[in-house]
Structures are given as structure tokens and as C-alpha cells.
Structure 1
Amino acid sequence: MTPANGHAAAHELRGVVEATRYVKGTIRTVQQPLVNLSDAPRGERASQLLFGEAFRVIDERDGFAFGQSLRDGYCGYVLGGALTRQDAATHWVAAPATHLYPKPRLKAPPEVAIFFGSHVRVTSDMGDFQKISTGHFVPTGHLQKLRARFADPVGVADMFLGTPYLWGGSSRWGIDCSGLVQQALIACGHDCPRDSDQQRGLGRELHPEEPLQRGDLVFWDGHVGFMSDAEMLLHANAFHMAVAYEPLSEARARIAASGGAGQGSGEIAARRRIEPTR
């Protein structure tokens, strides 16, 4: 969460961290369907950025850009070629995925797909299709205006049902437990950090006697999921290698007995309730 890598640091960190230089940074936009945000150049994936998302570039060298995602403040390295000049979005993709068509026709062969949460700038309303700034066409029903939000995070998470589990993933192509929670909460107007340990600060802790309800978050060390009702957990996990529903009692017993990367460990560590936005 600290935009500094030793070579350069954000200007607001002058006097806080040591760096060769301090910069304001340049805001750029992701121009690929997905790009990995890694902990080092050619390092391990920590998160992903989606098409149209903004990234504050602090340092560039050897084909990589170091900086900070404007979605959640997460810092890391992305391929420099995945970024382009800043483009002000007008809409976001509110379907699990959508195709970019070369023409506003259903039978036109789509060239590529982008994913839920991606940002686009609409330039023309073609009725059933919206033309975006890349020159492609997106089905109108797959887009929402930039400020539009859903009301039910669990309903959003359910759209990802069956999505393959992917450590650091943030899309229908592949997603992890905290990525699923983040995408669902942001789509419903809640600010949400990237990692499950950070997400344990959201909402309020439930009293031991309070029953769980739809939308509550259940945490283990290294894992998080949504309750779809008082008994059923919806989570991206490495046991199923997918986004899946699972009785909380079964998940609790399994994780306590074995656990592991991608599915948490130990007993339930926290139960949090996030109040609806107004």
C-alpha cells in the first residue's frame, strides 16, 4: 500500500520513506482485458487490473511500470505496454464478461472480451450497442453508467459462480476469495481493500449470539466468504478450485481439519456485517 520502490516514491512520502526521487506520478489506463499486478518485475501475481482501470505510475524501467491502483491503493508492477494514456470512463461492465464487437451487429465476430468491473468510455449510443472509445461496440445491456450500483453483494458474487479459482485473480477468467468480495462490494458502492486481512476491518463485528444473515462476511486466517443466508457460504476457494456454495458447517470443519493456501486455516476468526449504502 506504499507507493515507493527505492528508486522512486510518491511525492507525498517525502520525509517518510527513502527514495532516489519523489514524483507526483502519471495516471494511465489499462488497455488490455486483464493485466497482472505483481510484487516485483516478472514476480508473482498479487492482484489484477481490469480494462479501463486507472493506475498511477511512479517509476518505469525495463519494460515494467511500478505504481498504485486507483481502485484500492494496491501497489506493484505491471507490464508497461498494458497501459495507455488516461481515458475518462463513462460506464462500467456490469455483466460477468462482455465481447467487444467490430460492428454493432450480433453476428459480427467479436475480437476480444472484457470483464465485470471494467471501465469504458461510450462515444455513441447505437441502440442495442454502445460504441466505445476504442472503436468497438458493446451490448447496451452489459453496461451501467459509472455511478450506478447494485444493492446486493451476494447477488453480484453469485454472478461469478463456477469461475475458476486463481490466486490474485479479479475477474470471471479467474478469481480468489478476497477478489470476489472486493468486486461484489465495490459494485454495491462500498470501498473495499484487496486482501482478506485488510477486509477484516470492514463493517462491524457480530456479537457471538447474533445469527448470520445474507451478506455477512466470515473470515479465517487467509480466507473470506459471503453468507448467502444463515447457513450457506459463497466463496472462491482452492478446495473446489472455483467459486462455489458450501454449507458453512462443512467449510468450517474442513478448514479446521486441514486448510491450506487458498482456503484459509484454523477456526473462524471473525464475522463482520456491512450495512447497506444509502
Structure 2
Amino acid sequence: MLYGICNLSIVPLRLEASDTSEMVSQLLFGEHFEVLEQHAKWSRIKLQYDNYEGYIDNKQFVEISEDMFLKLSNEHKTLSGEILDFFSDSKNNLTTIPIGCHLPFYNKEHFVIGSHSYSYDGITYSGKLSKEEIINKAFLFLNTPYLWGGRTPFGIDCSGFTQMVYKLCGYHLQRDAKDQATQGEVLSFIEESEPGDLAFFDNDEGIITHVGIIMKDYYIIHAHGKVRIDLLDHSGIYNLDTKKHTHKLRVIKKII
């Protein structure tokens, strides 16, 4: 089995082995994975963080040993905490990174990938934060434009948004809304929910296609056109701009 790690800021994960194929997700710097298939230009991979699969360009990652993969999987993770920042290598070359990147084996403003050492002196997050912090971290993404497959403050989809907010707070969510809906405890009524709980919404076929984070006073923050705040009622999401319901409520889950 081959293993790899993302050594660039943001890398597309594609449905098929082509630059023109749909982007299903993104890898952020420091995320590691198994290589399921390797071809001349593309590799099909499975991310260690959420088991998500897709194709990545071979020029956009570096191979690591199985031993390094296991150490990365078991380490106490430290994440970059600035909306946009940079780190430097031993030659003072700079690389920009968005919030939520892994900083492998971070210690005293330094981290390492293989034999290479890097410096990062920005804000970091590590360990589990209180449930109250979920809304604070969600606000960091407010007005981020919607991007199918996106996971950064420069473009994000609904489940990428919830996954990244929870990740910054030290909690694990799956990548897609339908999979996130299998996690946690079902709540019977909106009135039972707390800020930080998740609301899921389905389409006419009953498939869960949308997710948002519940706030106090029956508001919800979610990615729809952009990361925005709307009202949540027993029918679903009521868009404060269009004065119409946009999503049909399916279930509310308490993850924490």
C-alpha cells in the first residue's frame, strides 16, 4: 500500500482522473491518505480523516512511508487558525494556507513533514473546544461563496462548512450531508436543540442534500449561495432575503 500527504495549500479531489472532472472535495495542507490506485498522472486516494475517496494529481502530493502514515493518524493534531496565513521552510520560501490545515508534529512554532522542517507562528487550534465555540467558528466563514466540493473560506459547500467548523473545534464529521446525518442523537423537536446542533434537509426524493448549524432564537447558519444566516422553523429554512422557504427540514441531530 502507498501513502501520501498534501504538501500544497488547497488541492482538488476529483470524481474522475481528469482536470475537467467534477471536484467532489478538497485536500488541505497536511492531510494524509492511502493511495488505492496509482496511474501515470492520477491517483485514487482515501483520506484518513473522513475516508473520502477521489482522484488527485500526482504532482500535488508527496509520498510518505507507512510508518509516517500511522504516526500522523495517531498524533494529537494541531490546526492552523488564521483565515489565511503562511508558513516558511528552511530557505524562507513562503506557502499560503487557509484555516484548518494540519501542522504535522507541531511544537514551538515548528512542524515537520518527513525530513523537512517548517515554521508557523500564527494562531493554532488543538483538542476539543466547548460547544459554544461552534457558532464562533462558524462566523469565521460568514459570506464565504458557495463552491461545490469546497472546504475553505474562499469557497465552501454546505457539508464542507459544517465539517470544517466542527473540525476546528476538535470534533469529527463525515464529508457529505447524508453521511453526517447518520452521526449523533436525533432530536424530536427544534425546541430541544441547542446552538451548535445540526439540522438536515432533504429533496423531493427524500435524499438528504443540505445541512446547517442551528443558532439561538431559531436562526441557522448554512452555505446556500454563500454562508448566510436565515430562520429555521418546523417546515425548514426561511430565507430572510427572498421571504420564501428554501429547504425542507428532515431531522435535527445533536453531535456533541
What is the TM-score with the length of structure 1 in the denominator? 0.73
* C-alpha spacing 1:243/1:123, structure 2 compared with 1 (3 Å): closer
| Cα offsets for 1:29-48 (capped at 9, x unmatched) | 10111111111112201111
Partner of 1:202 in structure 2? Answer: 183
Give ranges in structure 1 of 5+ residues lacking alignment. 1-24, 260-264
Partner of 1:73 in structure 2? Answer: 51
* C-alpha spacing 1:185/1:123, structure 2 compared with 1 (3 Å): closer
Alpha-carbon separation, structure 2, partners of 1:258 and 1:209: 16
- C-alpha RMSD of matched pairs (Å): 2.9
Partner of 1:34 in structure 2? Answer: 10
Partner of 1:247 in structure 2? Answer: 231
Partner of 2:38 in structure 1? Answer: 60
Partner of 1:165 in structure 2? Answer: 146
| Cα offsets for 1:108-152 (capped at 9, x unmatched) | 9x8331122211236774xxx54655554322x42245xx23223
* C-alpha spacing 1:177/1:124, structure 2 compared with 1 (3 Å): closer
Alpha-carbon separation, structure 2, partners of 1:93 and 1:38: 24
1:92 to 74, 79, 84: 79
* C-alpha spacing 1:209/1:192, structure 2 compared with 1 (3 Å): closer
Q: Does the 8 A contact of 2:237 with 2:245 survive in 1?
A: no
Secondary structure of the equivalent of 2:159?
helix
* C-alpha spacing 1:29/1:209, structure 2 compared with 1 (3 Å): closer
Secondary structure of the equivalent of 2:237?
helix
Does the alignment pair 1:188 with 2:169? Answer: yes
Q: Does the 8 A contact of 2:190 with 2:252 survive in 1?
A: no
2:23 to 45, 59, 66: 45
* C-alpha spacing 1:64/1:203, structure 2 compared with 1 (3 Å): same
Alpha-carbon separation, structure 2, partners of 1:131 and 1:27: 19
Give ranges in structure 2 of 5+ residues lacking alignment. 203-208
State percent identity of aligned pairs.
Answer: 25
Partner of 1:117 in structure 2? Answer: 100
Alpha-carbon separation, structure 2, partners of 1:170 and 1:184: 10
Alpha-carbon separation, structure 2, partners of 1:203 and 1:256: 31
Does the alignment pair 1:215 with 2:193? Answer: no
| Cα offsets for 1:87-116 (capped at 9, x unmatched) | 647632123232224689xxx9x8331122
Alpha-carbon separation, structure 2, partners of 1:187 and 1:46: 21
* C-alpha spacing 1:156/1:78, structure 2 compared with 1 (3 Å): same
